[in-house]
Structure 1
Amino acid sequence: MALVQFISAIVLAFVTLPSLARATTTHFVGDHYGWALNFDYAAWAKGRHFYVGDKLVFKYPRGYHNVYKVSGPEFNYCKVPQATEALTSGYDVIKLTSPGRKWYICGKAHGKHCQMGQKLFIFVKP
C-alpha cells in the first residue's frame, strides 16, 4: 500500500511540476526603447516566447502614443477600431489571458504611427 502511495505521489509531482516551474514573464515592449516610432517590433518579438499569464507592458510618453488591441485585418491595414477605446496611460499593462495570435497598434494620427511601424504581432502559447 505504501508503494502505491509513493508511486502516486511521484506521478502527481511529474504532472504538476512543469506548470509550477514556468513563472510568468513581464515583457517590456521594445525593451528600453519602449513603445515609439522608428523601432522594429517584429524583430523585437522574433525569438521571444509569450505564454498565457505573461504580461505585456507598453511604455511611452502619455499623450504621444496609445495602444489598441486589434484584429489581424485591422493590424494589416493599420485600421483604428471604432468600437474599442485605446489604452492611453503611458504604462499600459496587458495580461495575456488566452493563447493565439495577438495584434496591437498605435492609433495616433489616424493610424499613421502604425503605418510607420508602431505595431506588434505576437503568438501566445498555452
Structure 2
Amino acid sequence: MARNTSALAVIALFVVVFPSMVLATQYIVGDDQGWDSGVDYYSWMNGKTFHVGDSLVFNYDPSLHNVVVAANSDVYENCGTSPNFGIWDSGNDVFTLPTKGTYYFLCQYHCDYSDQSIAVVVKH
C-alpha cells in the first residue's frame, strides 16, 4: 500500500510541479520557411498560444541572419541590438520560454527593412 501511495505522489508531483515539461510545445519559427527575411511572422504567430516551457526553434542561414534576444520593447521597436539577452548565430538556435512575459526576437541584419522580428507573449 505504501508503494502505491509513493508512486501516486511522484506522478502528482510531475503533473502539478512540472506541467510545462509535460505539456511543452516546440515551435519552428516560420515553419518550413524558417527564420528568414520576407516571412510574414504576424501570420505565423496568429492563433498560437505560448506557454512557459515551450521552445522556439530558429532555423536559418547563419551567413545571412542571426537571432537577437532584445532586452525590452524599446530595443525591439527600434531594431536595436543593445541591450540584449544574447545574440545567436548558429543557424539552429532553440530558446525555451522560461517565465510569463514578452520575449523579443529580431535579426539585426533584416529587422529594419523586412520586419524579421517577433514578439512572443507567454501567458501561462
* TM-score between both structures, scaled by the size of structure 2: 0.78
Question: Percent identity of the aligned residues?
Answer: 32
Match of 1:43 in 2: 43
- Give distance in 2, aligned partners of 1:26 and 1:73: 27
Q: Is the 8 A contact 2:52 2:122 kept in 1?
A: yes
Match of 2:56 in 1: 56
Runs of 4+ in structure 1 over 2 Å off: 19-22, 82-85
Structure 2 residue 91 is matched with structure 1 residue 94: no
Query: Which residue among 101, 115, 118 is the counterpart of 1:120?
Result: 118
Q: Is the 8 A contact 2:20 2:51 kept in 1?
A: no
Report the RMSD for the aligned CA atoms in angstroms. 2.6
Which structure has the larger Rg over C-alpha atoms?
A: 1
Question: Using a 3 Å threshold, how does the CA distance of structure 1 residues 20 and 36 change in structure 2: closer, same or farther?
Answer: closer
Question: Using a 3 Å threshold, how does the CA distance of structure 1 residues 32 and 83 change in structure 2: closer, same or farther?
Answer: closer
Q: How many residues align?
A: 111
Q: Extract unaligned runs of 5+ from structure 1.
A: 1-8
Q: Extract unaligned runs of 5+ from structure 2.
A: 1-7
| Residue identity matched to 2:120 | I
> Which of 74-83 and 44-53 deviates more?
74-83
Deviations 1:47-82 (CA, angstroms, capped at 9, x unpaired): 101111010000001221000111111111111215
Q: Is the 8 A contact 2:21 2:53 kept in 1?
A: no
* TM-score between both structures, scaled by the size of structure 1: 0.77
